[in-house]
Amino acid sequence: MSQHFLLSAAARTLSLAKVMRMSDAAARETFKAIRWASTEGEPVCAKCGCVEAYEIATRQIFKCKGCLAQFSVTSGTIFASRKLPIRDILAAIAIFVNGAKGYSALQLSRDLDVQYKTAFVMAHKIREAIATSREADLLTGIVEIDGAYFGGYVKPANQRKDRVDRRTLNAQSGKRQVVVAMREREGETRTFITKTEREGVALVAANVHRDATVHADEATHWDTLSARYLTKRINHSQAYSLDGACTNQAESFFSRLRRAEFGTHHHVAGKYLSAYAAEMAWREDNRRVANGEQFGMIVGAAMAAPVSRQWKGYWQRAA
């Protein structure tokens, strides 16, 4: 049996430099090999599953011999009805992979010489493909949980006499959100957005297997988890790690998300916080995976992800 394309040496060593040297035809062949790996790159009709198709080379589309439906290499995927050449999409993914602290749409638009809004939607489609590719199984083993606030920053007044205590409810902007992270030791990081960290308790129950051991800090709302799980608590005012209890891996994830916030996006709050958190969770979990392999993972995820309900025609609707 032939090897799956994503496991081949060609996929593992894909890089931005190689993509930029590719012709658009070569880029299409790469997409085909990844999308239709089981037929060694031969197109499969998404409508009827027929594996025989005419190729209409001038329009870069296929016509199914079974049902006569016309489709392209990206039809039915998150990059359906794309306006950019395939090679630019591959380049966008390669650039995105290289950004360990995330990648801003502004930089991407400069790199690819496309409009900001094109880069913005493309980056969000990549994030959505990543999110779609992640497993939904219950988390097991040792699972660290923690929450951190993002957004809703209230700038202190210039003069001291005008300043208010920003910890009080009235002084807050109402835009502050919590990222709740659950992280398996040596495993997957899963994130959710809530208004308060307390709401994370129910999410832990829904996402963590009963046999798991849960590590959490001293915040009292986590107390109820001990009725359901074997729990280990760490009081951060005393130590960061004591008797095997710690949430240091959850903290490392948050520091990565903070670096993306301060270093790249400057503002990750609001309605896209969930997408940024999931992206950084993926980057954290795959940090030891070679770049070329990460690239292949994202192209594969994009080819497997369905047409985006959120991002398809986004600017046409927004305009």
Residues of the shown chain interacting with Zn ion in the complex, contacts defined by CB under 5 A: 45, 47-48, 50, 64, 66-67, 69
- Lookup: tokens for 25: 């035809």
Cα angle: 105, vertex 197, 287; to 5 degrees = 45
Least distance to Zn ion, CB of residue 78, Å: 21
Can you tell me whether residue 302 is helix, strand or coil?
helix
Q: How many CB atoms lie within 10 A of CB 159?
A: 7
Q: Is 211 left (phi over 0), alpha (psi -120 to 50) or beta?
A: alpha
Give the Cα separation of 229 and 294 in Å (integer): 34
Is the separation of the CB atoms in 254 and 243 below 8 Å? no
Least distance to Zn ion, CB of residue 196, Å: 50
* Residue (47 or 82) nearer to Zn ion, CB: 47
Least distance to Zn ion, CB of residue 79, Å: 20
Give the Cα separation of 36 and 41 in Å (integer): 5
Is the separation of the CB atoms in 268 and 280 below 8 Å? no
* Residue (46 or 203) nearer to Zn ion, CB: 46
Give the Cα separation of 263 and 99 in Å (integer): 11
Strand residues in the chain grouped as ranges (E): 53-56, 61-64, 70-71, 142-150, 177-184, 189-194, 213-217, 230-234, 241-242, 245-246
Closest to 87 measured CA to CA, from 79, 75, 99, 77: 79
41-48's contacts with Cβ under 8 Å and 24+ in sequence apart are: 41/5, 43/71, 43/73, 45/69, 45/71, 46/71, 46/75, 46/76, 47/71
Give the Cα separation of 7 and 311 in Å (integer): 30
Least distance to Zn ion, CB of residue 303, Å: 18
DSSP 208: B
